[in-house]
Amino acid sequence: MNAEEPFKIVILQLILSKKPESALEALSKYYYVETPKLKVGMPKGHSKNTGCYVQKTKTIHVSNQDILCDPYVILHEFYHHLRVQDGVHRGTEKNANRFARGYIEAYMARYLKIKSEGSTEEWG
CATH architecture of 5-117: 2-Layer Sandwich (3.30)
Backbone angles phi, psi at 48, to 5 degrees: -85, -15
Q: What is the rounded average pLDDT of the residues 49-66?
A: 95
Is the predicted pLDDT of residue 124 greater than 60, yes or no? no
Q: What is the rounded average pLDDT of the residues 79-103?
A: 88
Render 70-92 in DSSP notation, one character per residue.
-HHHHHHHHHHHHTEETTEE---
Domain boundaries defined on the chain: 5-117
The pTM of the full predicted model, rounded to 2 decimals, is 0.88
pLDDT per residue as tens digits for the range 93-116: 999 999 999 999 999 988 777 767
- The larger pLDDT score, comparing residue 112 to residue 35, is at 35
